[in-house]
Chains A and B, each alone.
Chain A
Amino acid sequence: MREIELSLNQTQKIRLKRALEKLESLSSKANSNSNASVSISDSIPVNLEDGVLKGHGTLDLNGELVATVCGVVERVNKLVYVRALRARYKPEVGDIVVGRVSEVAQKRWRLDIHYSQDAVLMLSSMNLPDGIQRRRTALDELNMRSIFEENDVICAEVRGIQHDGLHLQARSQKYGKLERGQLLTVPPYLVRRRKQHFHHLEQYGVDLILGCNGFIWVGEHVEVKDDMVEDQVSKPEQQKSNKNSISLEEQEQTYTPIETRQNICRIANAVRVLSILGFNINIEVIMDTMNLSSSLNLDIHEMLGSEFCVLVAEGEAERRSLTKRKG
């Protein structure tokens, strides 16, 4: 069993156990019979005469449907599939993902997005800095590194799977390079697909991007600029001249303001706590966790201590039982 990796004292252990038991009872009531957990090689009861469609995580074995991964059986009309929990990211078209550039290749960037291969972002499937729709020239190809370099963190959208792998696109101002912040990785199953994955938390001045692939970006808020044309042309030059000449003092002036940084770290730690506990990660829960820590007047780093984790678990149990009663 995957234990929660915390060093707890006796009372904390009991409290955590109680909170988890509560969660267990809540979830077992919610879905009593519709979907069941299976482990590898368990047979899935289906009525084969109805003509089921075998989906992911299933295998036909001598007329019997068996699971090939550990997970939860899902049935959609005739389709039967097993939804794996802890696994690498399974892309779906339209997903918003955060990735890291692993290679700049011919007319494309390769990105690590926690998938079984690197994803491909073609030069042609992203808006150029000048914002004009045109054919990509050889010059554009040569200047690819000025757009994204190796190790840059990028936000993009899944376009689809083609013969040479998974393709991404970034045809909007909201996609692109992410700077001034930190990248967190959580198991992808904790991030549910939603309408909104970009969150601008105005009161904190923070941008939060919950990538469907479990990469979560927490960073300083950047205004999405429509006037890309003049902005991008002038900016790189400025930066370059800056890079060479700035002293340590000047560099310090460009650091993230301290309040914003505190908020970024607090949000990041809220995500970390939720990931340790294995709770679903969405904006509401993150905000709740963050508010809980602020209301307790905890230092940011104390959020990763065992006491706060237990409190979050108890809070989550409470929250879920409330929403259940309402529903």
Chain B
Amino acid sequence: MLSLFSLRKETQRRLRRKNRVALHHWSASKITTGSKLIINILKGTAIVKATICQSSLHSFAFVGGLLASSQNQLEILGPSLGRGARPYINSKQRWRNRIEMEFVSPEGLRLDGRRPMEMRQIRAEIGAVAKADGSAVFEMGNTKVIAAVYGPREVQNRTQQINDQALVRCEYSMANFSTGDRMRKPKGDRRSTEISLVIRQTMEACILTHLMPRSQIDIFVQVLQADGGTRSACINAATLALADAGIPMRDLVTSCSSGYLNSTPLLDLNYVEDSAGGPDVTVGFLPKLDKVTLLQMDSKLPIDIFENVMQLAIEGCKAIANYIREIMLENTKQLEYRRGI
């Protein structure tokens, strides 16, 4: 029943870009394009060989989810293989790899080829859910989220009604297929609850809730693909969806993350960088008011470096705000001229 086909060039290129991984103990002389390597699958079902399709001095690209170890053998660290795979590091190795792995090459390039201060490509689209009052899709690199806003409308549960302001609710959910290794999580786990809360508080701070008393605003964010920075992407998508629903806001709120690896501040961490164990600073920012509304960091960081890292994240927020503003303005203009007089 199966028939053979070869991937088109473009698809191959995309795959390689996704699977670029830094290499520490290897030198370029050992790894060249086409060299076969032995790989262990963590699940222990089989040993496979992989082909390197692209290599440079400090990193190589391959098809499949594998990552370098210090030995002459490579280990596949994701249980999944093929197109859907993505490097995944378990907690023990995370510590080891943190020391060994190089996240910024001497030429100043990151694993996915970005500069330290460079953001992933962002893309936004207004209007993705036909039935919602407002909706938007926001993409940061491979991270992709949909946000839908329902309301302001009559409060569904009368006991929750607030007489002088609107009730803002938020739910964050992740699709089963959003992560590299597929998992089926129960709804409402602690992580989702926490992110829901974070998004709700951040959005509530900028919505002019007192203008819509005794009503309810529901924000639903759905992660379609997670590759680091889902929190930030969700906040950005929610901002766009709220604007699309015509809900008055004090200011735009945008969010971006930054980190610190190999003594370099990095903007907009992807999944591999995020799971490297370094600090991850997520900032929510009101650009017009010049105020930080959300700030989260895990892991430790000297205070003078923290300042730089946070500043970097703020710069990222500003860049996103500019982009979002342009999108919204363009959207408004289009709606206006289409409607006519």
Contacts of B296 in A (CB 8 A): none
Bound: A27/B151 CA distance, A:
30
Q: What distance in Å separates the Cβ of B331 from its nearest Cβ neighbour in chain A? A: 5
B68 touches A (CB below 8 Å)? no
Q: Mark A270-312, 1 if CB is under 8 A from B, else 0.
A: 0000000111100000000000000000000000000000000
Q: What distance in Å separates the Cβ of A257 from its nearest Cβ neighbour in chain B? A: 32
**Contact of A70 with B246 in the complex, beta carbons under 8 Å:** yes
A122 touches B (CB below 8 Å)? no
Contacts of B337 in A (CB 8 A): 20, 23-24, 26-28
Contacts of B338 in A (CB 8 A): 20, 23, 277-279
**Contact of B329 with A41 in the complex, beta carbons under 8 Å:** no
Contacts of A27 in B (CB 8 A): 336-337, 340-341
Total count of chain B residues near the partner, CB < 8 A? 44
Task: From A5, A85, A279, A316, give the contact of B332 (CB < 8 A).
Answer: A85
Q: Among residues 190 to 228 in chain B, which have CB atoms less than 8 Å away from a CB atom of chain A?
A: 208, 212, 214-215
Bound: A277/B334 CA distance, A:
11
Q: Among residues 174 to 193 in chain A, which have CB atoms less than 8 Å away from a CB atom of chain B?
A: 189-190
A52 touches B (CB below 8 Å)? no
**Contact of A70 with B339 in the complex, beta carbons under 8 Å:** no
Q: Among residues 210 to 252 in chain B, which have CB atoms less than 8 Å away from a CB atom of chain A?
A: 212, 214-215, 243-252
Which of A110-118, A134-142, A197-205, A215-223 touches B? Answer: A110-118
Q: Among residues 21 to 35 in chain A, which have CB atoms less than 8 Å away from a CB atom of chain B?
A: 23-24, 26-28, 30-31
Task: From A85, A118, A320, give the contact of B335 (CB < 8 A).
Answer: A85
B89 touches A (CB below 8 Å)? no
Residues of A at the B interface (CB closer than 8 Å) are 1-3, 5, 20, 23-24, 26-28, 30-31, 37-42, 57, 59, 61, 66, 68-72, 84-88, 102, 110, 112, 116-118, 165, 189-190, 277-280, 316, 320
The 8 tightest CB contacts between A and B, nearest first, are A87-B246, A116-B152, A2-B127, A27-B337, A68-B248, A116-B215, A41-B288, A39-B328
Can you report 30 residue pairs joining A to B where beta carbons are below 8 Å apart? A1-B330, A1-B334, A2-B127, A2-B244, A2-B334, A3-B127, A20-B334, A23-B340, A26-B340, A27-B337, A28-B337, A37-B329, A39-B329, A42-B329, A57-B248, A68-B250, A71-B332, A86-B244, A86-B245, A87-B247, A88-B151, A88-B152, A88-B246, A102-B154, A117-B152, A165-B214, A278-B335, A278-B339, A279-B338, A279-B340
